[in-house]
């Protein structure tokens, strides 16, 4: 059996090779940050560090945006894990995490294992704060979305009545994330990031309305 360390090393190479050129907000450096967040959370929550790090490294390789389908992406990761001779139980744990951790409008059932909770929180923390703001605009540019539609009604978060703009994404997802985190460690790490997004939006609207240079 290969050592955990050599499996992690190969997973890092595999993820880099799969995601290197991506410009939709899933590049290798996103994976790198999620891995570090997952390690930090695993330590403070007492989760299995190997499973958390391995799932974090592989979590976006299976993303349906980068594969023909979600199933094809998951098959690719499962085949890779078997080729590496990872223990079947570890394969099951990692696959269960990456198959169900995506946001999906907040509709996926809660993660069952502590390791799943940790990796999902790590991915969500990287969607918050300055990093989350930057990634949202990257993704919007990639998709050709508008920056903002001042006639959009963010109180009514019905997809059909709102144009999907970059700013709309804050209301449909980013501002909701802090209440959807699983672990207390992630909740406390999210506080600053959440506040930063709120002050970004406050300043954004002031500049939109040309009132930012006026006294309050
Ligand atoms: P991940 O699971 O790695 O967070 P996603 O595919 O959900 O990846 O999103 C990638 C990034 O793009 C995230 O920062 C996310 O908030 C952002 N994003 C996802 N959907 C949209 C959208 N419709 N408009 C703007 N940004 C988006
Ligand atoms: Ni991700």
pLDDT for 91: 98
Residue whose CA is at the smallest distance from ligand 1 atom 26 = 136
Q: Give the model's confidence band at 98: pLDDT under 50 very low, under 70 low, under 90 confident, else very high.
A: very high
Q: Is the CB of 169 within 6 Å of ligand 1?
A: yes
pTM of structure: 0.93
Ligand 1 pocket, mutate which of 25, 100, 200 (most atoms under 8 A from CB): 25
pLDDT for 163: 72
pLDDT for 76: 97
The full set of domain ranges for the chain reads: 1-103, 127-216
Q: Is the CB of 102 within 6 Å of ligand 1?
A: yes
Beta-carbon contacts of 134 under 8 Å, excluding residues fewer than 6 positions away, are none
Equal fold, 1-103 vs 127-216 = no
Dump the DSSP string for 174-186: GGGGGGG--SHHH
Average per-residue pLDDT for the chain: 92
Q: Give the model's confidence band at 216: pLDDT under 50 very low, under 70 low, under 90 confident, else very high.
A: low
Beta-carbon contacts of 20 under 8 Å, excluding residues fewer than 6 positions away, are 27, 28
**Residue range 191-211, pLDDT digits in tens:** 999 999 999 999 999 999 999
**Interface predicted TM-score (ipTM):** 0.97
Q: Which fold has domain 1-103?
A: Cyclin A; domain 1 (1.10.472)
Dump the DSSP string for 125-164: HTTSHHHHHHHHHHHHHHHT--S--TT--TTS--GGGS--
Residue 84 buriedness (CB in 10 A; 0-12 / 13-18 / 19+)? middle
Question: Tell me, what DSSP letter sits at residue 101?
Answer: -
The Cα 188–Cα 191 span in angstroms is 6
Q: Which CATH number fits domain 127-216: 3.30.200.20, 3.30.360.10, 1.20.58.1910, 3.50.50.60?
A: 1.20.58.1910
**Residue range 124-181, pLDDT digits in tens:** 999 999 999 999 999 999 889 999 998 877 776 665 556 789 999 999 999 999 999 9
Q: Which single residue is written with the structure tokens 């930063």?
A: 196
Q: Give the model's confidence band at 63: pLDDT under 50 very low, under 70 low, under 90 confident, else very high.
A: confident
pLDDT for 158: 61
């Amino acid at each position: 059996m290969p050592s955990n360390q050599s499996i992690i090393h190969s997973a890092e190479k595999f993820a880099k090779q799969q995601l290197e050129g991506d410009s939709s907000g899933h590049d290798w450096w996103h994976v790198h940050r999620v891995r570090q967040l997952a390690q930090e959370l695993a330590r403070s929550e007492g989760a299995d560090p190997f499973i958390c790090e391995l799932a974090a490294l592989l979590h976006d390789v299976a993303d349906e945006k980068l594969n023909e389908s979600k199933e094809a992406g998951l098959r690719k990761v499962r085949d890779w894990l078997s080729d590496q001779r990872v223990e079947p139980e570890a394969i099951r744990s990692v696959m269960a995490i990456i198959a169900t951790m995506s946001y999906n409008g907040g509709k996926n059932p809660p993660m069952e294992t502590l390791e799943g909770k940790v990796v999902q929180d790590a991915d969500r923390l990287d969607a918050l704060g300055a990093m989350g703001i930057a990634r949202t605009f990257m993704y919007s540019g990639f998709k050709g979305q508008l920056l903002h539609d001042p006639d959009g009604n963010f109180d009514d978060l019905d997809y059909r009545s709102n144009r999907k703009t970059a700013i709309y994404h804050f209301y449909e997802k980013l501002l909701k994330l802090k209440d959807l985190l699983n672990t207390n460690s992630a909740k406390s790490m999210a506080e600053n990031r959440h506040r930063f997004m709120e002050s970004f939006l406050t300043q954004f609207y002031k500049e939109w309305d040309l009132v930012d240079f006026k006294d309050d």
